[in-house]
Amino acid sequence: MLDIKNLHVAVGGKEILKGLTLSIQPGQVHAIMGPNGSGKSTLSYVLAGRAGYDITGGSITYNGEDLTALKPEERAAKGVFLAMQYPVEIPGVTTMTFLKTALNSQRRARGEADLDAIGVLKLVRAKAKTLNVSEDMLKRPLNVGFSGGEKKRLEILQMSVFEPKLAVLDETDSGLDIDALRVVAEGVNALRDPSRAMLVITHYQRLLDYIVPDRIHVLAGGRIVAEGGKELALELEAKGYEHIIKVPA
Amino acid sequence: MTGITALGLPEARRNEAAAIFRARGVPHRRVEDWKYSDLRSALGEAGVGAGQAELHTLHLPAGIETFDLAGTNPPDWVREYFGQADRNTMSAASLSLAAGGTAFRVPKGLVIAEPLKFEFAGAGHVRGLLVLEDGASLTLVEGVTVERFRNAGLEIVLGENARLEHVRVSPNAGEAVMVEEVSVRIAQRGQYRAHFAAFGSKLSRMEVEVALEGEGAEAHLSGVALLDGKRHSDVTTHVIHRTGNTHSTQLFKHVAGGNARAVYQGKVTVARGANGSDSNQSAKALLLGENAEADLKPELEIFADDVKCAHGAAVGDLDAESLFYLQARGIPEAEARGLLLQAFLEDAVAQILNTDQRELVRTELLTALKAIA
């Protein structure tokens, strides 16, 4: 589903990703672990199509298509979803209005009919319940005044509403206490599906206790430096990144 | 011709106003208050002309007394309140040149739910007077018709505990040059709320002076401007806290694209002894292009000791992170920009209490946003 080959990315002229190769099949959950500054967030933004991230080499192929040629909104409509580390606050747009606008934009781009307000409301309410997203949150301006946990739950709610094919979760565990982490992880696990691929980006092994990956990649210095099964996370936890990263500085 | 100036206004007052205008002439950019709005050059050789404009009443709720300012034998309340405001150059011009206008009086204690609707129409100068006696309450919806040039002067007098909400939408008026001066006096615990939505023109200026004269008087001013092309819009306010324990807020949000220019000049004066006054002033502008301009000039003039005054002004462009977030959720760029602009303007629009008017302003903005984003 997703094939990243020898990807080089520069931000403001500085190379951050230096030949990253990664491949994910439908139904799989992959984790990317790595220390701060290893290029984890850069990878997530490049996949979502954020401006200012220059691809200087390599390729990203998504379902046989060159992902890099698509605008962020086109990627979303084709099923790419990025749960962001720092969801933005948008005063003046209610969460419900935002969800409806986004969902119908994606549907329109796929040639599907708009869902009416009541249809969207029903869909969102049903999914919101299982994620502890209150009716009040849906009425408030998007992310404004939300706690860290509420923001992350809302990211997962969006993922559940948009039903993406490829979900990238960028440090979804950051800033969460253990209860919030569990709610978020359960939400993610409920979305595991044979047709859906997930890329879970995290600094800590903790999240992977709840979302158990099929494969773990260790990112350091802009490259994958180690790969393995779920046991790799435990090894990292026990011995630290220093032990595994043996790349020259 | 017997204009209002000869009738609704004593000869001496008219001469005074005429003298003020004659001495100052048509304001131009070297006059500090008109730095961003060069009326003289916008008018060119045509100048300010004569007073042919009129006030058209579109909806008059029951219970409101009116007087045609061009008529004879003005009632006492017109004699008492009309023609007081002339410190403003253009207001002095309309006082001395206008030949038409209407005065309205809402009697003591009368609370009117449906709005009074009127518009200034035609080219030239025109005057209006609105008096709300003690305890009266009203919504004023002011429309604006497009003309080559119009200068309108409106005086508003609010008695004790009187409440007025004033909503004015001025449409995209192309090549028009339109100025208006509103002068408001508020007695004890009276409350004036105003919202000015502006879509601009060649030169378009709304100037409002509010005097909080009685304890507990309040003024809440808000507005939005959405400009594109070569359009200009200027809102200039002066809120004067003459007495203590008075309260004022201002919230203006402006968006300018193309070669447009959005101006906000806001002065708050707290008079000597007006202790316990509270004023908050906020003006923000978003620029959509390199050639657009926003001028924000908040000013404070404080002569009292125990006051709370806050002001802020900021010019920026659309937040790239927010834009990316919306696009990454599937919302096309143009629509995402529109949504963010709408969100930027929303808190100012939300100041409008009248539900119908609030929705109307929202709708006007949405239509204009589709063209601008």
Cβ-based burial of B59 (10 A; exposed 0-12, middle 13-18, buried ≥19): exposed
Please answer whether residues B351 and B321 qualify as being in contact, where contact means their C-beta atoms are separated by less than 8 angstroms.
Answer: no
Poorest-pLDDT segment among B62-66, B86-90, B217-221? B86-90
Are B44 and B26 in contact, with CB atoms under 8 Å apart?
no
Greatest mean pLDDT among B8-17, B229-238, B303-312 lies in B229-238
Distance CA A188, CA A209 (A): 13
Q: How many domains is chain B partitioned into structurally?
A: 1
pLDDT number for residue B2? 41
A178-187, B26-35, B142-151: lowest mean pLDDT where?
A: A178-187
**Chain B residues whose C-beta sits inside 8 Å of any chain A C-beta:** 319-322, 324-333, 335-336, 339-340, 342-347
Tokens representing B126 are 């025109």
The half-sphere exposure of A43 on its side-chain side, counting CA atoms within 13 A, is: 38
Q: Report d(CA A105, CA A99) in Å as an integer.
A: 10
Alpha helices in B245-353 (DSSP H): 320-328, 333-349
Q: Under a CB-based contact definition with an 8 Å cutoff, are residues B123 and B152 in contact?
A: no
- Name the phi and psi angles at A214, rounded to 5: -80, -30
CB contact under 8 A, B332 and A105: yes
pLDDT band at B1 (very low <50, low <70, confident <90, very high): very low
Is residue A67 within 8 angstroms of chain B, CB to CB? no
Token pair listed for B221? 């001013």
Q: Do A101 and B339 touch (CB under 8 A)?
A: yes
pLDDT value of residue A249: 43
A48/B328 Cβ within 8 A: yes
> How many helices (H) and strands (E) in chain A?
10, 12
* pLDDT more than 90, % of chain B: 85
Q: Which residues pair with B363 in a beta bridge?
A: none
The predicted model scores a pTM of: 0.88
Please check whether residue A91 touches B, CB under 8 A. yes
Return residues 123-182 of A near B (CB < 8 Å). 141, 158, 162
Predicted pLDDT of residue B14: 86
**Are residues A90 and B321, on separate chains, in Cβ contact within 8 Å?**
no
Task: Determine which helix (DSSP H) or strand (DSSP E) holds B119, and give its type and residue range.
Answer: strand B116-121
Closest by CA to A40, choosing from A228, A172, A201, is A201
Sheet holding A223-228, edge to edge: A80-83, A166-170, A197-202, A29-33, A215-220, A223-228
Band of residue B288 on the pLDDT scale cut at 50, 70, 90? very high
- Chain A residues close to B319, C-beta within 8 Å: 88
CATH topology classification for A2-244: Rossmann fold (3.40.50)
Quickly tell me which residue has 């209610």 as its tokens.
A94
Point out the residue among B327, B335, B343 whose CB comes nearest to the CB of A72. B327
**Residue among A82, A91, A103 minimizing CB distance to B328:** A82
Q: What number is the average pLDDT over the span A186-194?
A: 91
Per DSSP, the residues of A62-111 read ETTEEGGGS-HHHHHHTTEEEE-SSPPPEEEEEHHHHHHHHHHHHHHHTT
**Residue B7 pLDDT level (bands cut at 50, 70, 90):** very low
Contacts of A84 in chain B (CB under 8 A): 325, 328
Spell out the long-range contacts of B348-351 with Cβ–Cβ below 8 A and sequence spacing 24 or more.
B348/B195, B348/B222, B348/B223, B348/B224, B348/B251, B348/B252, B348/B253, B349/B195, B349/B197, B349/B222, B349/B224, B351/B193, B351/B195, B351/B220, B351/B222, B351/B251
B85 confidence band (pLDDT: 50, 70, 90): low
What's the pLDDT at A246? 62
Contact flag A91-B321 (C-beta cutoff 8 Å): no
Query: In the numeric block, which tokens belong to residue B9?
Result: 């206004």
User: Does residue B369 have a pLDDT over 60?
Assistant: yes
Q: What average pLDDT does the segment B128-147 reach? A: 97
Q: In chain A, what residues touch B327 (CB-CB under 8 Å)?
A: 49, 71-73, 76
Q: What is the pLDDT of residue A204?
A: 82
Number of Cβ within 10 Å of residue B16's Cβ equals 17
B8 — pLDDT class (breaks 50, 70, 90): low
Range of the domain at B135: 4-318
- Each residue's pLDDT tens digit, B195-247: 999 999 999 999 999 999 999 999 999 999 999 999 999 999 999 999 999 99
Kindly state whether residue B87 falls inside one of the protein's structural domains. yes
pLDDT at A248 over 70: no
| Structure tokens that stand for B244 in this block | 């203590």
Give me chain B's average pLDDT, please. 93
What pLDDT is stored for residue B4 in this prediction?
A: 46
Asked if the model's pLDDT at residue A148 lies above 60, the reply is yes
ipTM of the complex in this document? 0.94
Check A77 against B331: CB less than 8 A apart.
no
Q: Hey, CA dihedral for B327, B329, B335, B337, is it positive or negative?
A: negative
Rounded average pLDDT over A158-169 = 95
CA-CA distance, A93 to A219, in Å (whole number)?
Answer: 37
Q: Which two tokens mark A59?
A: 């390729």
Taking alpha carbons only, the member of B198, B186, B272 closest to residue B233 is B198
Residue of A nearest to B345 (CA): A92
Give chain A's mean pLDDT: 91
Q: Does the beta carbon of A88 lie under 8 angstroms from any beta carbon of chain B?
A: yes
Of A220-229, A231-240, B346-355, where does mean pLDDT reach its minimum?
Answer: A231-240
pLDDT tens-digit series, residues A57-91: 999 999 999 999 999 999 999 999 999 999 999 98
In this complex, is the C-beta atom of A111 within 8 Å of any C-beta atom belonging to chain B? no
CB atoms A71 and B345 under 8 Å: no
pLDDT exceeds 50 at position A247: no
The answer to whether residue B81 sits within a structural domain is yes
Q: A59-64 — which CB contacts under 8 Å span 24+ positions?
A: A59/A3, A59/A4, A59/A5, A59/A6, A59/A7, A60/A2, A60/A3, A60/A4, A60/A5, A60/A7, A61/A2, A61/A3, A61/A4, A61/A5, A62/A1, A62/A2, A62/A3, A62/A166, A63/A1, A63/A165
Span A12-35, mean pLDDT? 94
For A48, the enclosing helix (H) or strand (E) is: helix A40-48
pLDDT digits 0-9 by tens, A127-138 = 998 888 899 999
Cα-Cα-Cα-Cα torsion A125, A159, A79, A20, nearest 10 degrees, comes to 180
Check if A115 contacts B (Cβ < 8 Å): no
What band does B11 get if pLDDT is binned at 50, 70 and 90? confident
A221 contacts chain B (CB < 8 A): no
